[in-house]
Structure 1
Amino acid sequence: MTDEQRKSVALEYLKAFDRGGVTSNGGSVLDLFADDAQVYFPKWGLATGKEEIGTFLADVGGTITLIEHHYAGFNWVFSGSDVVVCEGTSHGAHRDGPWRAGVPEWGAGRWCDVFEIRDWKIQRCFVYLDPDYAGKDTTRYPWLARRSSPSGL
């Protein structure tokens, strides 16, 4: 596969999330994965195989009511092998509240996905982001607690 072909698979994966887990041909986002694929997501862990990936998607997807990725601003890195890295931003609505990259600057919405794609299937997708979409976890981080206080001190 070429880098552009691998990129098209990664884009289909990201766009499926914007469509509630449905691919452009009406299939499931799970169809994009190899049978023995692995997905890593912070605070969820490592899912191996389509069954576990389905559980992960149901768990995390069940907390998100809307997501929109900002495609025009994506940064792509190609390794010359099967690895494709995509860095980007998003906004949406989580059960705990909305998020938008950059609002606040320290909040959720910036992410980086590392894909390994072979034979038109995602073999591995490791997601790096802050899973506290609504920015509620501020008390454990003194600098965020200060920024979130009314005085901002």
Structure 2
Amino acid sequence: MSRSSEVSKNVAAVKEYFVRGDAGRMDMLDLFTDEFQFYFPKFGIGKGKAEFAQFVQGLIGSLKSISHDIEALKFLEGHNFVVVEGTTEGVYGDGTSWSGGDTPGGRFSSVFEFRDDGLISRMHIYLDPDYSGKDTDRFLWGADRWW
């Protein structure tokens, strides 16, 4: 991003994706090309708006709530990409909650690639989908580590 306080159109699109997604607005798909590629751990690679909508339904179906700390997002930008790092908080369907930075899960990084027309053509999300840290058998250094 430039040294000025202006937010680039690509960073603005990424922020808008999180705002719309946190509000449960499927018009977030208007920010993507029709056949964009996406990745999410435990889901794998997907392609297109219809498959992404199925992915969202599956993810949201397991949660009571999820939100991103949009004001604290960190961005790294190149000509046609934006990398973002941030945290989420939310509640699973069973009532277990998490808050990135306070619990083992809830931290993420995502890579967005853009076409020249400003639409997102690729989004890969990197995180541990065990948001609340229930998978304690794989905490190699113990479950009492500070997050």
Identity, % of aligned pairs?
38
Structure 2 partner of 1:88 = 86
The equivalences for 1:44-83 within 5 A come to 44-79=43-78, 81-83=79-81
Q: Distance in 1 between matches of 2:60 and 2:29?
A: 13
Consecutive unaligned residues in structure 2, runs of 5 or more: none
Q: Distance in 1 between matches of 2:51 and 2:76?
A: 28
Instruction: Name the count of aligned residue pairs.
Output: 138
TM-score in terms of structure 2 length: 0.84
Q: Distance in 2 between matches of 1:144 and 1:32?
A: 41
TM-score in terms of structure 1 length: 0.81
* 2:99 matches 1:100: yes
8 Å Cα contact 2:18/2:70 also seen in 1 = no
Counterpart AA for 1:19: A
Q: Distance in 1 between matches of 2:142 and 2:40?
A: 23
Consecutive unaligned residues in structure 1, runs of 5 or more: 149-153
Q: Distance in 2 between matches of 1:29 and 1:139?
A: 36
The equivalences for 1:3-152 within 5 A come to 4-20=8-24, 22=25, 28-79=27-78, 81-96=79-94, 97-104=96-103, 107-118=104-115, 119-145=117-143, 147=144
Q: Specify the SS of the correspondent of 1:133.
A: coil
